[in-house]
Amino acid sequence: MVKEVGGGGADGGVDLVLTEAGEKTFVQCKQWKSFKVGVSTVRELYGVMAAHGAAGGFVVTSGRFTQEAAAYVTGVRTNRLHIVVDSYCRTDEPGVYAIGDVAGPPWLAHKASHEGVLCVEKIAGLDVTPIEPNSVPSCTFGHPQVASVGPTEADARRTGIEVKVGRFPFAANGMAIATGVDSGL
Ligand SMILES: Cc1cc2nc3c(=O)[nH]c(=O)nc-3n(C[C@H](O)[C@H](O)[C@H](O)COP(=O)(O)OP(=O)(O)OC[C@H]3O[C@@H](n4cnc5c(N)ncnc54)[C@H](O)[C@@H]3O)c2cc1C
């Protein structure tokens, strides 16, 4: 299916949306007269593709991509959700790193900051232990605060892991008493 979306108003630079088997591909025709398509055009298109979960994008032009734009496209690999990195936050482009939410799940604040430290230590040549994504604890700073790590009780049971459930009364927890929320388990 071909849908025209360009025209008046903000359109993210996209003129056509091609849809096949549920996959969207964006086409930008605004550069058709350009002799040089720079990195900012490509970067913006990538941003719109990521925001809308598009599988691919085309820039229609009568010219060429600048060297910088071509390097941007070939250098840093992304999937539909995030920049693809290895366990030391290295992208496919030598010397380019990505950390935090742009580098994929789990989308948690302490994972982002830990990756920042890990990445810089690795660059500095230190001996670094990579993050194991399934072992990152999750803390939700809501009310009440909730934390978890590893598979849920239901997932563990489903995969045949023996489960032992422990319960502890908030009435016996110093933090709970100090903050005046000392009821429940
Ligand atoms: C409502 C909400 C609740 C959350 N609750 C929790 C929670 O309870 N626990 C938890 O662990 N995590 C939580 N998170 C997730 C957590 O906030 C993120 O995982 C974390 O902030 C990711 O850090 P980051 O550095 O990757 O990205 P960000 O913190 O998003 O930092 C990116 C920065 O880049 C800047 N930026 C963007 N574009 C540009 C540009 N073009 N040029 C320059 N700067 C730019 C942004 O302004 C921003 O400051 C929550 C997130 C949301 C939205």
At 85-135, the pLDDT tens digits run 888 999 877 788 999 998 988 889 999 999 999 999 999 999 999 988 778
Topology (CATH) of 1-75: Trna Endonuclease; Chain: A, domain 1 (3.40.1350)
Work out the pLDDT band at 158, boundaries 50, 70, 90: very high
Per DSSP, what are the bridge partners of residue 40?
none
Give the pocket of ligand 1 (CB within 6 Å): 100-101, 107-110, 112, 139-141
Rounded to the nearest whole angstrom, what is the distance from the C-alpha of residue 174 to the centroid of ligand 1? 31
Domain ranges within the chain, ordered by starting residue: 1-75, 80-139, 151-185
- What's the average model confidence in pLDDT over 8-30? 83
d(CA 130, CA 122): 10
Rounded to the nearest whole angstrom, what is the distance from the C-alpha of residue 170 to the centroid of ligand 1? 31
Residue closest via CA to ligand 1's atom 6 equals: 140
Work out the pLDDT band at 11, boundaries 50, 70, 90: low
Lowest mean pLDDT among 49-58, 68-77, 148-157: 68-77
